[in-house]
Amino acid sequence: MTTPLRKTLYAGFAGLSIIGTAAACAPSTQAPSQTPASQNGGQESTTSPSASSAASSGTTGSTYKDGTYSADGTYTSPNGQETVGVELTLAGDKVSAVNITTHPSNPNTRKFQGEFASGIAAQIVGKDIDELNVSKVAGSSLTSGGFNDAVQQIKSQAK
């Protein structure tokens, strides 16, 4: 037998569970600095307005030269070898902008690379390049392998 107090407590806990579940399932929003794939010739890109197009001399005490660097990273998916383009702008060893160029070989790759491109800036802009080791972004885990491969190449370029 339940008392009115127990009924109230059960209803309260059930409501909290539903609210927590709904919040976890809420869709993420795209940052205003991103270009949808439909406006970029089918290629998803993410960028920040502070991106520069040429490398400049490094900041004193920095390991890497300031500037914009790019590389293509590769990874293996169930569909075979895939490639993702990465452009990073560095300032004082920190990522100040990122641009992802997708190279989809099929609809699944297009979907996952697009999701990755739409979520990567929020995870890496403002972080030290040596601290980057992305494992999963916006539901895409395999694209991260190509991104990490490209970051290693960019670190070599920026030394």
Token pair for residue 16?
């909290």
Q: Does residue 5 lie in a domain region?
A: no
Range of the domain at 106: 34-158
Q: Does residue 86 lie in a domain region?
A: yes
pLDDT the model gives residue 40 = 40
Cα distances from 123 to residues 77, 97, 135, 148, 154, in angstroms, run 22, 11, 11, 13, 18
Q: Does residue 8 lie in a domain region?
A: no
Q: Does residue 52 lie in a domain region?
A: yes
pLDDT the model gives residue 62 = 85
**Average pLDDT for runs of 10 along the chain of length 159:** 48 43 39 35 41 41 94 95 98 98 94 96 97 92 96 97
Q: Does residue 4 lie in a domain region?
A: no
pLDDT the model gives residue 1 = 55
Q: Does residue 70 lie in a domain region?
A: yes
Question: If we measure between CA atoms, which residue out of 123, 120, 66, 69 comes closest to residue 93?
Answer: 66
As for how many domains the chain has, the answer is: 1
Q: Does residue 28 lie in a domain region?
A: no
Instruction: Decide: pTM greater than 0.75.
Output: no
